[in-house]
Structure 1
Amino acid sequence: MPRSSRAPKSPWTVARQTCTDCGRARSMAKNYDRSDLLEMVCAEVDRHASWIQEISERIMRNPEPGFREWRTAEYVAQQFAAIGLSYRTGLARTGVKARLRGNGDGPTVAILGELDSLIVPGHPFADPETNAAHACGHHAQIASMLGAGRALQAVIQHLDGDVVLFAVPAEECIEIGWRRQLIDDGEIEFLTGKSELIRLGEFDDIDMAMLTHTESGGNALGSVGDTHNGAVIKYVTFTGKSAHAGARPWMGINALKTAMHALTAIDAQSETLPDDWRVRIHSVMTRGGDVLTAVPAEATAEIMIRGATFEALTRGCELVDRCLRGAATSFGARIEVETMGAFMPLTQEDRLTEIVARGIREVVGAEAMGAPRHRTGSTDLGDLSLVMPVSHPRCAGAQGSSHGSDYVVDDHGLAAVLPAKWMARSVVELLADGAGEAHDVIRASGQRLSRDEYVNRRRTFQHVQNYGDLSES
Structure 2
Amino acid sequence: MKELAYAIIDKYHDEFLELADTLFKTPELGYKEVKTKQIIQTFLTSHGIQIEKEYFQTGFQVTIANADKPHIGLIAELDAIPTIGHPCSNPLDNAAHSCGHSTQVVMMIASLLALKELIDENKLTGKVTLFFCPAEEFIDIEYRKQLIENKTIYAIGGKQNMIIDHIFDDVDCCLHAHGMGEFRKYRFNVKSSLAGFIYKKYHFEGKASHAAMAPSEGINALSACNLFLQAQAMLRETFLDSDMNRVHGIITNGGDVVNSIPSDVVYEAYVRSFSTTTLMNLNDQLSNAAKHCAYAIGAKCEIEEIKGYFPFNQDIALSDVVYQNMLPFVNPLEIQTDEKSVASGDIGDLSLFKPTIQFGYTGFKGTMHGKNLEVSEPDVVYNTTSKILVGSVIDLLTDSSYLENIHSSFRPQMTIDEYIKYLES
Above 0.5 in TM-score? yes
1:188 to 130, 138, 153: 153
In structure 2, distance between residues paired with 1:214 and 1:308: 21
CA displacement at 1:214 relative to structure 2: 1.1
Other-structure match for 1:18: none
Other-structure match for 1:75: 39
In structure 1, distance between residues paired with 2:218 and 2:37: 49
CA displacement at 1:81 relative to structure 2: 1.1
In structure 1, distance between residues paired with 2:164 and 2:83: 30
2:73 to 107, 110, 116: 110
Task: Say whether residues 1:300 and 2:263 are aligned partners.
Answer: no
Other-structure match for 1:26: none
In structure 2, distance between residues paired with 1:88 and 1:333: 54
Q: Report the aligned-residue RMSD.
A: 1.9
Do the aligned partners of 1:310 and 1:345 also contact (CA within 8 Å) in 2? Answer: yes
Other-structure match for 1:141: 104
Task: Say whether residues 1:213 and 2:161 are aligned partners.
Answer: no
1:128 to 51, 71, 91: 91
2:327 to 340, 361, 380: 361
Cα shift readout 1:253-308 (whole Å, capped 9, x = no counterpart): 22233223222321232122111110011101222233343332222221101101
Do the aligned partners of 2:201 and 2:304 also contact (CA within 8 Å) in 1? Answer: yes
Do the aligned partners of 1:53 and 1:417 also contact (CA within 8 Å) in 2? Answer: no
Structure 2 residue identity aligned to 1:444:
S
Structure 2 residue identity aligned to 1:45:
I
Cα shift readout 1:29-71 (whole Å, capped 9, x = no counterpart): xxxxxxxx21221111111122222222221112111121111
Other-structure match for 1:289: 255
Other-structure match for 1:160: 125
In structure 1, distance between residues paired with 2:264 and 2:237: 30
2:3 to 36, 39, 47: 39
Cα shift readout 1:387-431 (whole Å, capped 9, x = no counterpart): 000111111111222222223222222122211111111111001
Do the aligned partners of 1:60 and 1:125 also contact (CA within 8 Å) in 2? Answer: yes
In structure 1, distance between residues paired with 2:10 and 2:336: 23
Distance change in 2, residues 1:313/1:139 (3 Å) = same
Within-5 A mapping of 1:308-319 = 308-319=274-285
In structure 1, distance between residues paired with 2:130 and 2:358: 15
Other-structure match for 1:50: 14
In structure 2, distance between residues paired with 1:282 and 1:85: 44
Other-structure match for 2:366: 400
Do the aligned partners of 2:188 and 2:335 also contact (CA within 8 Å) in 1? Answer: yes
Task: Say whether residues 1:348 and 2:311 are aligned partners.
Answer: no
Structure 2 residue identity aligned to 1:66:
G
In structure 1, distance between residues paired with 2:151 and 2:208: 33
Identity of aligned residues (%): 28
Structure 2 residue identity aligned to 1:79:
F
Q: 2:323 is paired with a residue of what secondary structure?
A: helix
Other-structure match for 2:377: 411
Task: Say whether residues 1:94 and 2:94 are aligned partners.
Answer: no
In structure 1, distance between residues paired with 2:211 and 2:173: 59
Do the aligned partners of 1:223 and 1:360 also contact (CA within 8 Å) in 2? Answer: no
Moved more, 142-151 or 58-67: 58-67
Structure 2 residue identity aligned to 1:134:
H
Other-structure match for 2:143: 178
In structure 2, distance between residues paired with 1:348 and 1:363: 22
Task: Say whether residues 1:276 and 2:276 are aligned partners.
Answer: no
Task: Say whether residues 1:378 and 2:344 are aligned partners.
Answer: yes
CA displacement at 1:432 relative to structure 2: 1.5
Structure 2 residue identity aligned to 1:126:
S
- What 5-or-longer segments of structure 1 have no aligned partner? 1-36, 463-473
1:228 to 194, 201, 206: 194
Within-5 A mapping of 1:413-452 = 413-433=379-399, 435-452=400-417
- What 5-or-longer segments of structure 2 have no aligned partner? none
1:241 to 204, 207, 215: 207
Moved more, 445-454 or 74-83: 445-454
Do the aligned partners of 2:187 and 2:361 also contact (CA within 8 Å) in 1? Answer: yes
Other-structure match for 2:232: 266
In structure 1, distance between residues paired with 2:152 and 2:259: 39
Moved more, 127-136 or 304-313: 127-136
In structure 2, distance between residues paired with 1:263 and 1:71: 42
Other-structure match for 2:303: 337
Structure 1 residue identity aligned to 2:2:
L
CA displacement at 1:99 relative to structure 2: 0.6
In structure 2, distance between residues paired with 1:274 and 1:440: 33
Distance change in 2, residues 1:188/1:250 (3 Å) = farther
Count of matched residue pairs: 422
In structure 2, distance between residues paired with 1:57 and 1:280: 35
Structure 2 residue identity aligned to 1:350:
I
Task: Say whether residues 1:253 and 2:216 are aligned partners.
Answer: no
Structure 2 residue identity aligned to 1:235:
K
In structure 2, distance between residues paired with 1:295 and 1:90: 51
Distance change in 2, residues 1:302/1:131 (3 Å) = same
Moved more, 406-415 or 444-453: 444-453
Do the aligned partners of 1:158 and 1:432 also contact (CA within 8 Å) in 2? Answer: no
Moved more, 300-309 or 218-227: 218-227
TM-score, normalisation: structure 1: 0.84
Distance change in 2, residues 1:187/1:298 (3 Å) = farther
Do the aligned partners of 2:53 and 2:62 also contact (CA within 8 Å) in 1? Answer: no
Q: 1:111 is paired with a residue of what secondary structure?
A: strand
